[in-house]
């Protein structure tokens, strides 16, 4: 009978292979850099710098990548420099337009005949509500910068009375000396006004949308105005 001997190297390879197949956790986690023997049990991969708390990790369940380099923070965006170095930055420093405020109505807004003088248009649903005053129907600019204010609505005054004049009414976005206006015509039922103002605003400035007459001492309108789908959007441009 001939006896066969396994080379020691082959035997070692078989043992290592059995160990690999017999353990589901072996090599399941990888740690690179500082503290190579310590890894969060929730992560598959960690790359740790020598600076305390600077670590990039991959969650083993969700696959979420977390990058902590000391610049991270709520609402920040990951940005690259000219050399490809990444860091977290506030959106405001990247000149990315962001929606600062929205207001809209789920029901019609009625401006009645008996009203005189400028009348602000209310918005029932506002976000964030902390920047909106329901008492004065005004939005407060939270911080200095360039903003775009936009108002849209469908105006219905089809129930106008024959022979009356409507040419002295207009809808306006009012923000201090900055104004955008839209003139109303009698007997209309169409999308409009669609207005916007883009300008620099100081923090604390007040913004409102109002219906007014060229002469505030006279009657605002001679018939009811119905604003359908009235909405305002404030975008911080820079």
Q: Could you read off the pLDDT tens digit of each residue along the chain, which spans 238 residues?
A: 555 555 555 455 555 555 545 544 445 789 998 988 889 999 999 899 999 889 999 999 998 999 999 999 998 889 888 998 999 988 778 878 889 999 999 999 887 755 566 888 999 999 999 999 999 999 999 999 999 999 998 887 655 554 444 445 677 888 878 888 776 655 555 556 688 999 999 999 999 998 876 554 555 455 667 888 999 999 998 8
Which one, of 96, 97, 95, 77, lies nearest residue 86 by Cα? 77
Identify the H or E element spanning 20.
helix 8-22
How many Å apart are CA 218 and CA 157, to the nearest integer? 19
Does one domain contain both 17 and 83? yes
Q: Which residues contact 37 (CB under 8 A, 6 or more apart)?
A: 31
- Which are the contacts of 219, defined by CB distance < 8 A and separation ≥ 6? 113, 116, 213
* CATH number, position 114: 2.60.120.40
Is residue 128 reached through a cis peptide bond, with omega within 30 degrees of 0 on the bond before it?
A: yes
How many independent structural domains does the chain possess?
2
In a domain, 187, yes or no: yes
Q: Is there a domain that residue 140 lies in?
A: yes
Of 94, 109, 134, the residue that ends a domain is 94
Are β-strands 178-183 and 225-236 bridged in parallel, bridged antiparallel, or unpaired?
unpaired
Helix (H, G, I), strand (E, B) or coil at 14: helix
Whether residues 78 and 139 fall in one domain: no
Q: What is the DSSP letter of 116?
A: B
For 186, the domain range is: 98-236
**110 assigned to some structural domain:** yes
Domain-ending residue, one of 94, 117, 132:
94
Q: Are 88 and 103 contained in the same domain? A: no
- Asked if residue 48 and residue 90 are part of one domain, the reply reads yes
Cα 34 to Cα 27: distance, rounded to the nearest angstrom: 18
Gyration radius from the chain CA atoms: 32
Q: Is residue 2 part of a domain?
A: no
- Strand (E) or helix (H) holding 200: strand 189-201
Q: What is the pTM for the complete model shown? A: 0.63
Which residue carries 């977290």 as its tokens? 88
How many CA within 13 A on the CB side of residue 142?
13
């Amino acid at each position: 009978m001939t006896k066969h001997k396994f080379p020691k190297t082959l035997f070692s390879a078989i043992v290592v292979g059995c160990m690999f197949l017999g353990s589901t956790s072996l090599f399941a986690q990888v740690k690179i850099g500082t503290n190579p023997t310590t890894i969060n049990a929730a992560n598959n991969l960690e790359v740790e710098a020598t600076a305390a708390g600077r670590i990039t990790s991959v969650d083993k369940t969700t696959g979420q990548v977390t990058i902590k380099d000391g610049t991270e923070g709520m609402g920040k965006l990951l940005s690259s420099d000219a050399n490809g170095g990444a860091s977290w930055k506030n959106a405001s420093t990247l000149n990315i337009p962001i929606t600062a405020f929205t207001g809209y109505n789920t029901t019609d807004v009625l401006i009645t005949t008996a009203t005189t003088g400028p009348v602000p248009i209310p918005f029932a649903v506002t976000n964030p509500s902390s920047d909106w005053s329901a008492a004065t129907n005004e939005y407060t600019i939270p911080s200095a910068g360039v903003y775009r204010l936009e108002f849209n609505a469908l105006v219905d005054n089809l129930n106008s009375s024959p022979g009356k004049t409507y040419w002295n009414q207009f809808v306006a976005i009012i923000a201090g000396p900055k104004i955008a206006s839209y003139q109303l015509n009698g007997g209309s039922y169409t999308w409009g006004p669609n207005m916007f103002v883009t300008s620099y605003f100081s923090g604390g400035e007040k913004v409102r949308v109002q219906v007014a007459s060229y002469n505030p001492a006279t009657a605002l309108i001679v018939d009811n105005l119905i604003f359908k789908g009235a909405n305002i959007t404030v975008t911080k441009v820079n």
